[in-house]
C-alpha cells in the first residue's frame, strides 16, 4: 500500500529535523549490514496483561531499514485463552501464519459480513486492508503468530480506543452510540485506566 521506492534503500534517519512522507535517508556512507537485519522478533512478548497477548512490531520505527520499502512484520504472542482484540490497520493488508497453537482469526467487511476460521500451525490468513480483525487463542497452550504488512508503518486503530482516547470522547457520545447507561461507559473506561 506504500508508494514505490525511488532508490534501492533509504535507511530511515528517525531523528532528522525535516519532515517528509516517510523518513529522510541516512547518508549512504553510514549504511552497514546491520541496517538490513533486525533481531527484535526473537523474544517472546509479555502476555501478562488484561488481553493475554502481546504484539512486538518490526516497522520503520523499530527497524529503520524498512523505510520506503512497503513492508513490516509483527510477532504476536498469546497466553492460553488470550486475545489480540479487534483493531484495524489503515495503511496495510495483513497476512499471517500460525507458528504455535490454534487461533480463531476473524474480520468484518465493509458490508458488515464476519468471516472467521480456526487455524493450526503452518496455516495462513489474510486481512484485507483496513478491515477490523482479531485473533483469539482457542488452543490449550500458548500460541504464536507472525504477521506481515505491505506498509513500513501499517498503523493501528484499536476498537477500544473509543474508550481510551486522550482526551476522552464525551460519555454522552458513547452512551448514545452504544445505547447503554453512563455507568456502563464509565465501567469500560475505567477498565482501561482512562
Positions touching Mn ion (CB under 5 A) are 94
The partner in contact with residue 67, picked from ligand GLV, Mn ion, none with C-beta cut-offs of 5 to 8 angstroms by kind, is none
Closer to Mn ion by Cβ: residue 55 or 118: 55
Q: Which three cell numbers stand for residue 165?
A: 482516547
Q: How far is CA 46 from CA 54, 77, 151, in A?
A: 6, 8, 25
Q: How far is CA 127 from CA 57, 80, 86, 114, 144, in A?
A: 17, 23, 12, 12, 17
Closer to ligand GLV by Cβ: residue 80 or 85: 85
∠ at Cα 60 (55, 61), nearest 5°?
70
Question: In the complex, what is the shortest distance from the CB of residue 115 to ligand GLV, in angstroms, rounded to a whole number?
Answer: 14
Instruction: Kindly state whether residue 147 participates in binding ligand GLV, applying the rule CB under 6 A.
Output: yes
Phi first, then psi, for residue 28 (nearest 5°) are: -55, -35
- The number of residues that bind ligand GLV (CB under 6 A) is 8
Closer to ligand GLV by Cβ: residue 31 or 41: 41
Taking the C-alpha atoms of residue 185 and residue 154, their distance in angstroms, rounded to an integer, is 29
The partner in contact with residue 102, picked from Mn ion, ligand GLV, none with C-beta cut-offs of 5 to 8 angstroms by kind, is none
Q: How far is CA 34 from CA 53, 167, 177, in A?
A: 29, 39, 49
Question: In the complex, what is the shortest distance from the CB of residue 57 to ligand GLV, in angstroms, rounded to a whole number?
Answer: 8
Closer to ligand GLV by Cβ: residue 147 or 150: 147
Q: Which three cell numbers stand for residue 157?
A: 486503530
Binding ligand GLV by CB under 6 A: which of 41, 55, 104, 169? 55
CB 127 within 8 A of CB 107: yes
Closer to ligand GLV by Cβ: residue 10 or 82: 82
Binding ligand GLV by CB under 6 A: which of 47, 54, 67, 74? 74
Other CB atoms within a 10 A radius of the CB of residue 120 amount to 11
The partner in contact with residue 2, picked from Mn ion, ligand GLV, none with C-beta cut-offs of 5 to 8 angstroms by kind, is none
Residues that bind ligand GLV (CB under 6 A): 55, 74, 76, 84, 94, 133, 135, 147
Amino acid at each position: 500500500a506504500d508508494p514505490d521506492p525511488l532508490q534501492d534503500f533509504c535507511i530511515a534517519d528517525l531523528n532528522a529535523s525535516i519532515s517528509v512522507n516517510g523518513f529522510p535517508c541516512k547518508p549512504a556512507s553510514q549504511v552497514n549490514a546491520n541496517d538490513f537485519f533486525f533481531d527484535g522478533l526473537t523474544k517472546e512478548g509479555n502476555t501478562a496483561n488484561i488481553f493475554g497477548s502481546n504484539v512486538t512490531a518490526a516497522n520503520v520505527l523499530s527497524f529503520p531499514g524498512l523505510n520506503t520499502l512497503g513492508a513490516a512484520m509483527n510477532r504476536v504472542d498469546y497466553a492460553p485463552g488470550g486475545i489480540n482484540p479487534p483493531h484495524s490497520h489503515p495503511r496495510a493488508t495483513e497476512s499471517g501464519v500460525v507458528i504455535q497453537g490454534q487461533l480463531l482469526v476473524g474480520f468484518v467487511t465493509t458490508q458488515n459480513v464476519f468471516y472467521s476460521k480456526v487455524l493450526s500451525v503452518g496455516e495462513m490468513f489474510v486481512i484485507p486492508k483496513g478491515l477490523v480483525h482479531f485473533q483469539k487463542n482457542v488452543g490449550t497452550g500458548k500460541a504464536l503468530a507472525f504477521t506481515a504488512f505491505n506498509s513500513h508503518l501499517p498503523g493501528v486503530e484499536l476498537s477500544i480506543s473509543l474508550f481510551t482516547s486522550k482526551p476522552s470522547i464525551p460519555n454522552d457520545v458513547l452512551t448514545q452510540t452504544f445505547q447503554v447507561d453512563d455507568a456502563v461507559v464509565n465501567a469500560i473506561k475505567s477498565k482501561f485506566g482512562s
